[in-house]
Structure 1
Amino acid sequence: MWVRTLDTGAEELVFCSDSRLSNGKRFDHCQKIFKFTRTDAAIGFAGDTDWAYPMIVAAVTAADVHLPSQTRALTLSKFKAHLINILNQMQREVHNYAKGEEIPGATFLFGGYDWWYKKFRIWRIEFSNRERRFTAHERTGSNAFGSLGKIEFSGDNEWTQEFRKKLKEKAQEKYGLAMNAPRGSKFNMEPLEVIRDLIRSANASHSIGGAPQAVKIYQFMNSADVGIFWPNVEQGRLYISGRPLLDYERATLKSILDPDTLNSTWCNGTPMQREIKSQPP
């Protein structure tokens, strides 16, 4: 998850992930990023799905039925606190467990546009063994990526290390060793490019795979799923939230991506539609 800056100066918060779940098998069509009805925020996860899925579904449902959340009367930080209360409530209800099995092995990445502070904010939500509860830590800096902007990521240790390494190489190649030239340089879609390349380099035995999936949060407090042709425009199908659309499905999307050029267009058609116009994503 990172704050993307367009050439116009406008910003977007972009969530991106692979689509593979692993638990004695590989399941490559799985949603890992979830929007909220309030449209100014989203949440994703990494880690044990037996913890993450029931918790994230409960959090999304609870947020959608809570009137102050629906109307965005809850500011983003108060909404985050509400989500943490839900996660902690669920964790406390675990019972009849073997020693250590009450410790959630899941990390949540939450973020959105804060209308009170007029900026994008992102948090990492993890279970604290010392405090015996979920806690949130806000990402305020660039996570050691020069002046390129806010970014947070999570996953298996080997892949997060590889992601950081590859993204640093790409950023330094594009923006210089200090990752701040030309002055004012900010992240564009480089993190998605790295995720794309890591997925393509993975095989069936790896813990990442499937198609990339993405969600955008805009400064005007709307959110959108991003369609991606995978593995490429020429041979691929249109994927949304990690799943390829069936032949008879029709989708209206604000943008779809060519994963190689990252050109984007509006789409209203079949999963095989391949018209990609040359415009920024």
Structure 2
Amino acid sequence: MTLCAAWIREINSREELVSATDSSLTGGEKWNQGVKLFELPRPDCLICFAGETSRAYPLILNLISSIKLDRRLRSPRTDIEEVLSYLASLFTALVGTIVNEIQGLDIHDLRAGAKFLFGGWSWLESRFRFWQLYYSKDAEGFIFKECTDEPNKNRIYTFLGDPEELVDTATKTYKRLIFDDDIQDDKMDMEPLQILIKMSRDKSIRTVDGAIQIAKVYKSGTSEFFGINWPSSKGKPHFLGRSFVPHSKPDVRYFDPDTLILIEDKLPTVIDDLTRFSHLEDFDFIQTCYGEDGSLSTALSDLDRERLIYVFREAAYQRFVDNMQNDIAQDHRPGEA
């Protein structure tokens, strides 16, 4: 049981493939800190699942092991479509070995217990591609349906859920969101993530729960996994569904679920007096990032944004050190006669 999503995000003329899912595992019991989004032994692709954990985990673990052991599958020279074909064949072979020991259960229902989202960067076609994979009774094996077969569409996304009603709810909520905000003609940003967060916070939806797991694939053929503060910006850091205390959290970037902005990438949108930074070597650079009214430029590149965050972080740390040294110096002043 779950809801997951994949979509192609375009921001500042840069595309990236984003995949996300909730963290709830069910099946006679309920866990809200289960891993459902997996990094494979090649960094240009991701896989997540919806459905029965007892069916999905053996298949995914076999896939990870198989890629590790196969030099061709590990090689970045092997396009992900070839990995997809292998994946479908492997899953078909594995579910074909299931022995039904419960009277009255259909073997095809057992084999179809989980479905998957798989995708990544195709160097052969120079574009992101992703597919839904599911068991077909007619084919007696796993088949796949591409979600990126119309590459010129403005918005390319998919939801995968179990039960299927979750997909209908997510799709309707998504369409209502983009029409209410009048952004249906805009490029895709993080709207599917917004839907996942909304549904996972909704306590009336039992099968979608827990902190959202998020990862991206970049055109460089690399992937990045993200954490999230949960259930709000003031909540604890979570990574792959698991809760951490701040001092022991994994060294990854974390999303703010309220703003959908990376917490590490937050910058002051307005600085009323830029001259407070006039003593810094980077003062001229800071002035280029903020307008005459002190407003942060909306056209800031990712590189400049990272540089600006570093400058402010270093300035804040230096100010902290200076203040501590001043306090120590005052504590050790000779007493007056």
Give TM-score, length-normalised by structure 1.
Answer: 0.86
Change (3 A) 1:65 1:36: same
Q: CA deviation at 1:276?
A: 4.8
In 2: Cα distance, 1:276 partner to 1:149 partner: 26
Residue 207 of structure 1 corresponds to 207
Change (3 A) 1:86 1:277: farther
Instruction: Confirm or deny that 1:163 pairs with 2:170.
Output: yes
Local SS of the residue matching 2:112: coil
Q: Do 2:34 and 2:241's aligned partners in 1 also have CA atoms closer than 8 Å?
A: yes
Local SS of the residue matching 2:121: strand
* Count of aligned residue pairs for this structure pair: 261
Instruction: Confirm or deny that 1:224 pairs with 2:224.
Output: yes
In 1: Cα distance, 2:254 partner to 2:207 partner: 26
CA RMSD across the alignment: 2.3
Residue 138 of structure 1 corresponds to 146
Q: Of the candidates 121, 133, 136, which is equivalent to residue 125 of structure 1?
A: 133
Deviations 1:134-178 (A, max 9, x none): 011111357xxx9432212111222211100110011112335xx
Local SS of the residue matching 2:181: helix
Residue 295 of structure 2 corresponds to none
In 1: Cα distance, 2:262 partner to 2:211 partner: 17
Change (3 A) 1:26 1:277: farther
Q: Do 1:258 and 1:276's aligned partners in 2 also have CA atoms closer than 8 Å?
A: no
Instruction: Confirm or deny that 1:33 pairs with 2:37.
Output: yes
In 1: Cα distance, 2:175 partner to 2:207 partner: 22
In 2: Cα distance, 1:225 partner to 1:15 partner: 10
Instruction: Confirm or deny that 1:154 pairs with 2:160.
Output: yes
Residue 58 of structure 2 corresponds to 54
Deviations 1:247-281 (A, max 9, x none): 6534221x211111112145xxxxxxxx9546989
Residue 255 of structure 2 corresponds to 257
Residue 103 of structure 1 corresponds to 111
Q: Do 2:25 and 2:34's aligned partners in 1 also have CA atoms closer than 8 Å?
A: yes
Gaps of 5+ in 1: 267-274
Local SS of the residue matching 1:130: coil
Gaps of 5+ in 2: 1-5, 269-299, 306-337
Local SS of the residue matching 1:160: helix
In 2: Cα distance, 1:49 partner to 1:263 partner: 31
Q: CA deviation at 1:13?
A: 0.7
Instruction: Confirm or deny that 1:115 pairs with 2:120.
Output: no
Residue 4 of structure 1 corresponds to 9
Local SS of the residue matching 1:108: strand
Percent of aligned positions with the same letter in both sequences? 27
Give TM-score, length-normalised by structure 2.
Answer: 0.72
Q: Which protein shows a greater Rg?
A: 2
Between Structure 1 and Structure 2, which shows a larger proportion of helix residues? Answer: 2
Q: Name the aligned partner's letter for residue 55 of structure 2.
A: W
Residue 270 of structure 1 corresponds to none
In 2: Cα distance, 1:201 partner to 1:250 partner: 26
Residue 242 of structure 2 corresponds to 243
Deviations 1:15-67 (A, max 9, x none): 11111011122100011111112100000100111111111111122112211
In 1: Cα distance, 2:134 partner to 2:13 partner: 32
In 2: Cα distance, 1:58 partner to 1:175 partner: 44
Q: Of the candidates 44, 47, 51, which is equivalent to residue 43 of structure 1?
A: 47
In 1: Cα distance, 2:154 partner to 2:213 partner: 22
Q: Name the aligned partner's letter for residue 139 of structure 1.
A: C
Q: Do 2:236 and 2:245's aligned partners in 1 also have CA atoms closer than 8 Å?
A: no
In 1: Cα distance, 2:66 partner to 2:16 partner: 25
